[in-house]
């Protein structure tokens, strides 16, 4: 079932944004998205700074904000202003004050350098017009031992998700990440239809003296 993905509009989204928002925020999504287990697996601590790239209306953003608590912070980056408006309204209703919505530039999440303990990308990398460029800039926003978690669709038929031709194999993502100075540190197999990759900054190789 790939409904809602057949007519890509801006930023890889369907032209029917309202329908997309409804599907993304549908409580039934929890059956396969397992948000509690995902956030648990991120191992966030109170006070940490997280960036979510391609946050959409914030299915994960609100959960991340609660995980880091009022002393922590979440940058919720998206390239589509309409989705950030919906996110803002949801944050207001939830009484959460530790999220900064950021209108990204497409190939630049516009994050401060060396600020984020973790950057999370869920079901979004296959939307990015220039993923490698975005990853290079994202890598600079991490603290030295910071991590990137990328969750995206397996490249086989699944009962939900975009058409197979739009999906990005995990190996291709890891190659892009490597060129951005990120190395694969681990993989979690907790989701039925998606891979879950953990990456960290590669140490710069020392020039021979
Ligand atoms: C399928 S949605 C996923 C939303 C959310 N992560 C979730 O799992 O519910 C992909 C999101 O990526 C956003 N997006 C596409 N290109 C982007 C870019 N270059 N920078 C930031 N966000 C982008 C889209 O606007 C959309 O909100």
User: Would the pLDDT of 20 be above 80?
Assistant: yes
CA 39 to chain centroid: 12
Q: Give how many domains the chain has, as a whole number.
A: 1
pLDDT of residue 10: 93
Any residues with Cβ below 6 Å from ligand 1, and which? 11-13, 24, 53-56, 59-60, 77-80, 83, 104, 106, 122-124, 127-129, 134
Among 4, 9, 79, residue to substitute to test ligand 1 (most atoms within 8 Å of Cβ): 79
Please name which of 168, 111, 166 lies closest in space to residue 141, comparing C-alpha atoms.
Answer: 111
Q: Which structural domain range is residue 72 located in? A: 10-201
Among 11, 20, 23, 87, residue to substitute to test ligand 1 (most atoms within 8 Å of Cβ): 11
CATH number of the CATH domain containing 179:
3.40.50.150
Task: Band the pLDDT of 7: cuts 50, 70, 90.
Answer: low
pLDDT of residue 203: 74
Q: Ligand 1: which atom is nearest the Cα of residue 130?
A: 19
- The predicted-structure confidence for 149-199, as pLDDT tens digits, reads as follows 999 999 999 999 999 999 999 999 999 999 999 999 999 999 999 999 999
- The predicted-structure confidence for 26-81, as pLDDT tens digits, reads as follows 999 999 999 999 999 999 999 999 999 999 999 999 999 999 999 999 999 999 99
- The predicted-structure confidence for 86-120, as pLDDT tens digits, reads as follows 999 999 999 999 999 999 999 999 999 999 999 99
pLDDT of residue 208: 53
Residue 81 lies in a domain: yes
Residue 209 lies in a domain: no
The residue with tokens 């989204």 is 13
Determine contact, residues 158/129, Cβ cutoff 8 Å: no
Q: Could you write out the DSSP letters of every residue in 26-59? A: -GGGHHHH-HHHHHHHHT--TT-EEEEET-TT-T
Six-digit token string for 179: 């060129």
Cα angle for residues 11, 15, 86 (degrees, 5° grid): 75
d(CA 49, CA 75): 8
Task: Band the pLDDT of 209: cuts 50, 70, 90.
Answer: very low
d(CA 7, CA 203): 41
Residue 179 lies in a domain: yes
Task: Band the pLDDT of 4: cuts 50, 70, 90.
Answer: very low
**Residue 159 per-residue DSSP state:** S
Residue 129 lies in a domain: yes
pLDDT of residue 202: 84
The residue with tokens 């995990």 is 170
**Residue 18 per-residue DSSP state:** H
d(CA 7, CA 116): 34
- The predicted-structure confidence for 41-52, as pLDDT tens digits, reads as follows 999 999 999 999
Residue 206 lies in a domain: no
Gap from CA of 116 to ligand 1 centroid (Å): 19
Residue 4 lies in a domain: no
Interacting residues of 194 by C-beta distance below 8 A, sequence separation 6+? 123, 151, 152, 153, 154
d(CA 168, CA 125): 8
Q: Give the residue, by CA position, lying nearest to ligand 1 atom 10.
A: 124
């Amino acid at each position: 079932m790939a409904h809602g993905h057949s007519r890509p509009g801006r930023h890889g989204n369907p032209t029917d944004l309202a329908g997309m928002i409804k599907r993304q925020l549908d409580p039934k999504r929890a059956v396969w998205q397992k948000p509690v287990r995902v956030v648990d697996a991120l191992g966030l601590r109170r006070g940490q700074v997280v960036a979510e790239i391609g946050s959409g209306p914030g299915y994960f953003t609100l959960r991340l904000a609660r995980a880091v608590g009022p002393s922590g912070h979440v940058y919720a980056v998206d390239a589509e202003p309409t989705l950030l408006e919906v996110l803002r309204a949801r944050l207001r209703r939830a009484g959460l004050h530790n999220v900064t919505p950021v209108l990204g530039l497409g190939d630049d999440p516009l994050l401060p350098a060396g600020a984020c303990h973790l950057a999370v990308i869920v079901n979004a990398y296959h939307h990015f017009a220039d993923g490698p460029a975005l990853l290079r800039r994202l890598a600079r926003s991490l603290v030295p031992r910071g991590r990137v978690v990328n969750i995206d669709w397996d490249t086989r038929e699944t009962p939900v998700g975009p058409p197979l031709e739009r999906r990005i194999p995990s190996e291709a993502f890891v190659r892009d990440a490597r060129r951005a100075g990120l190395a694969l540190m681990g993989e979690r197999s907790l989701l039925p239809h998606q891979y879950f990759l953990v990456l960290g900054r590669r140490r710069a190789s020392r020039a021979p003296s």
